[in-house]
Amino acid sequence: MKKTFKKIFLALVVILFGITNVSAASAPSNVTVGGSKRYDALVAGTFWNYKTSSDGTYFYCLDHHSGTPYNQPYKLAGEMDAGFAYIIQNGYPHKSFKGNKKYDHYITQGAIHWYIDRINGVSDNKSGKMTKSFKTTGSDPYGLRPYMKTLVENALKARKTGYVTPSGSITTSSSKLNISSDKSYFISSPITLKATGSIKSLNVSIVSGPTGTVLVDGNGNKKTSFKNGDVFYVKVPASSLNALTATVKINMTGQGVVNKVYKYVQASNKNGKVQDVILAKPIEKSVSFGGGLTFNLSTTKTTISKVDITTNKELPGATLTIKDANGKVVASWVSTSEPHVIDALPAGKYTLEETIAPDGYVRANSISFEVVDGKATTVTMKDDYTKLKISKIDITTEKELPGATLVIKDVNGKVIDEWVSTDEAHYIEKIKPGKYTLEETIAPDGYIRAEKIEFEVLETGDVQTVTMVDDYTKVEISKQDVITKSELPGAKLKIVDEEGNTIEEWVSTDKPQYFEKLKVGKYKIVEVEAPDGYVLATEPVEFEVLETGEKQVSVIYNTPLTPTPDTAFHVSTLVYIIAIVIGGMGIGMIYLNSKKNA
């Protein structure tokens, strides 16, 4: 028994020496498997041994049906495929499945045997290195089979992919640095960092560039750490540039590893044929990679910005010139929706002039500026615009009058603007300076179209006002006695339009009835009831309201009723006469009788 332990101890010492002297980039050429401990049959009655060296390094067997090695010297036989590497890296002792050493080791060893069946073309429904029962429905009281199967499936995927050698790159769509909208810094197009494989570290550094050059993220924050998939930018402060051109160089370096596993076979046959094994300690092979980018920028730019005074947006259509100190025109252009950039304008003093303003705008005052070598120069010229207020008012109240259709025409008769007035003045911006005519094409109901107004829009940013006044119609209706021509109260009258609609109704008084703002057109005066003692005027009186502010008068007459003597004989008249006579005779007889009796 003591001799056995001595042999095991010596074997463990040999293994430890071999591993600790192996560099990180290569596998040991010789190893010795030490003692072995047998595990219970945890799945489908299948068991195997637990094998380690004295430093705790594990070995996994490759042939379930061969003998178990004890103190057996092994030699390096070659590299295993990426599927075996996956199982080793994701199995015990590197990862735990059940939190139990015995179960985790059993899962890892079982996955290796199962994986060998798969790559040898043996399906789970057939027995190979492992029985069908082990792989399918055999007893599994501790639930280990699902973990083994998952390891096998992922190992097959890793085998298909193969070992991935770490690599990386930094790329961008342009080597040019563009100036920011506020002209305070230059910035690159997006730079993308990509890496593949098992990456331990990634770094990007600035090799050379102007003072203050930094790497930033998408929010403009300084970036110092990097990982796979990062997008970042080179940013250079404009204030740090002191030459016509500048170059920025950046460099990317990376470190990665390829974790490989190796097969070991027996070195001698002194103990008979035993299993081949895998060292359960992946051998890291370090890989370095890198790459660089170079960016260029130009610093001598003069930017001329022609903007609207209100919106501060670029204003197209202005003709601009730059003159040097001697009055010579060195540049001339028409502004667009983008600032005008002039590269390498010589150092000196200049004047920016606007010779023609965009339609509706007012020419700005000239601006003097200076270009200094090595610095970006920006000049902003703001244009004001014309402002016109058209006021349509009532002649009496002087308040804004809604409902008038108005039009502005230029000297060629072209309609510039057309609108219907409201209770507020009509405001127009950016009309080209020049002469115009204001016309009222349709007056509001009851009003008279005003005369045309000629006016001129001056080249100024002040509000210019044009006022058009509307008069209205005035109608007086007089109800008169046809004989006396005096006003006749008591007649019920109405005005109807051409469609028969009643416009006004009233009862006449001793004064004429006055109406304002009747719509221009034809009407009738209809008498509904005549005054007492007068004949009803059955014929309506027609009149027309003309488009004039003068008072228009219409008269409707009534004829008085006249009594006519009745000369015809009537029976009723005779009856009245006889009754009077008989009555008189009766009174006389009564009187005579009274005298006699007296």
- For residues 58 and 53, the model is more confident at 58
Does 521 fall in a domain?
yes
Does 408 fall in a domain?
yes
Does 447 fall in a domain?
yes
What tokens does 19 get? 């591993």
**pLDDT at residue 191, as a whole number:** 97
Distance CA 117, CA 277 (A): 16
What tokens does 13 get? 């010492």
Q: Could you read off the pLDDT of 379-406 as tens digits, one per residue?
A: 999 999 999 999 999 999 999 999 999 9
| Beta strand spans in 399-538 (E) | 405-410, 415-420, 426-429, 434-442, 453-457, 463-470, 474-481, 492-497, 502-507, 513-516, 521-529, 534-535
Q: Could you read off the pLDDT of 402-412 as tens digits, one per residue?
A: 999 999 999 99
Distance CA 548, CA 428 (A): 30
Query: Do 102 and 8 lie in a common domain?
Result: yes
What tokens does 266 get? 């027996």
Is residue 494 over pLDDT 70? yes
pLDDT tier at 316 (50, 70, 90 boundaries)? very high
Cα angle 304, 309, 312 (rounded to 5 degrees) comes to: 60
Single residue among 470, 493, 513 that ends a domain in this structure: 470
Does 99 fall in a domain?
yes
What tokens does 107 get? 């899962």
Single residue among 341, 361, 379 that ends a domain in this structure: 379
Q: Name the residue type at position 521.
A: G
Q: Could you read off the pLDDT of 57-111 as tens digits, one per residue?
A: 788 888 877 776 677 788 899 999 999 999 999 999 999 999 999 999 999 999 9
The percent of residues in the chain predicted with pLDDT above 70, rounded, is: 86
Per-residue pLDDT, averaged over 301-324, amounts to 95
Cβ atoms 408, 436 nearer than 8 A: yes
Cβ atoms 264, 210 nearer than 8 A: no
Residue 8 carries which DSSP code?
A: H
Residue with tokens 């300690």: 281
Query: Do 33 and 86 lie in a common domain?
Result: yes
Cβ atoms 490, 508 nearer than 8 A: yes
pLDDT tier at 39 (50, 70, 90 boundaries)? confident
Query: Do 91 and 137 lie in a common domain?
Result: yes
- Domain membership of residue 363 as a residue range: 301-379
**CA dist 461 → 54, 154, 361, 383, 435 (Å):** 95, 76, 8, 9, 17
Query: Do 320 and 201 lie in a common domain?
Result: no
**CA dist 443 → 91, 104, 249, 409, 420 (Å):** 95, 98, 75, 18, 10
The percent of residues in the chain predicted with pLDDT above 90, rounded, is: 69
- Give the closest residue to 554 by CA, choosing from 522, 509, 510, 528: 522
Tell me the HSE value of 336 on the side-chain side, using a 13 A CA sphere. Answer: 7
Is residue 18 over pLDDT 60? no
| Beta strand spans in 337-414 (E) | 340-343, 348-356, 361-362, 367-371, 377-385, 387-394, 405-410
pLDDT tier at 219 (50, 70, 90 boundaries)? very high
Query: How many other β-carbons are positioned within 10 Å of the β-carbon of residue 340?
Result: 19
Number of structural domains found in the chain: 5
Report field, pTM of the whole predicted structure over 0.75: no
**pLDDT at residue 241, as a whole number:** 75
- For residues 118 and 569, the model is more confident at 118
Per-residue pLDDT, averaged over 253-282, amounts to 83
Q: Could you read off the pLDDT of 135-159 as tens digits, one per residue?
A: 999 999 999 999 999 999 999 999 9
Return the CATH number at 211.
2.60.40
Cβ atoms 415, 408 nearer than 8 A: yes
Is residue 20 over pLDDT 50? no
Q: For all residues of the chain together, what is the average pLDDT?
A: 86
Task: Name, in order, each residue with C-beta under 8 angstroms of 524's C-beta and a sequence gap of 6 or more.
Answer: 495, 496, 540, 541, 542, 543
Distance CA 380, CA 302 (A): 11
Does 591 fall in a domain?
no
Cβ atoms 465, 389 nearer than 8 A: yes
What tokens does 154 get? 């992922």
pLDDT tier at 490 (50, 70, 90 boundaries)? very high
**pLDDT at residue 178, as a whole number:** 81
Query: Do 294 and 311 lie in a common domain?
Result: no
The sheet carrying 453-457 orders its strands as 415-420, 405-410, 434-442, 453-457
Query: Do 395 and 461 lie in a common domain?
Result: yes
Residue with tokens 């050059």: 213
Is residue 273 over pLDDT 90? no
**pLDDT at residue 19, as a whole number:** 26
Cα of 101 vs its chain's centroid, Å: 57
Does 566 fall in a domain?
no
Query: How many other β-carbons are positioned within 10 Å of the β-carbon of residue 548?
Result: 12
**pLDDT at residue 2, as a whole number:** 35
Q: Could you read off the pLDDT of 579-593 as tens digits, one per residue?
A: 555 655 655 554 455
Phi, psi (deg, nearest 5) at residue 367: -125, 130
**pLDDT at residue 581, as a whole number:** 54
| Beta strand spans in 242-328 (E) | 245-260, 262-266, 277-279, 283-298, 301-308, 319-324
Query: Do 8 and 90 lie in a common domain?
Result: yes
pLDDT tier at 563 (50, 70, 90 boundaries)? low
Out of 2-16, 174-188, 540-554, least confident range: 2-16
Does 63 fall in a domain?
yes
Does 266 fall in a domain?
no
**pLDDT at residue 17, as a whole number:** 24
**pLDDT at residue 566, as a whole number:** 47
Return the CATH number at 370.
2.60.40.10
Is residue 278 over pLDDT 50? yes
Query: Do 196 and 220 lie in a common domain?
Result: yes
Residue 357 carries which DSSP code?
A: P
Is residue 26 over pLDDT 90? no
Query: Do 532 and 425 lie in a common domain?
Result: no
Query: Do 115 and 146 lie in a common domain?
Result: yes
Query: Do 487 and 547 lie in a common domain?
Result: yes
Query: Do 181 and 225 lie in a common domain?
Result: yes
pLDDT tier at 373 (50, 70, 90 boundaries)? low
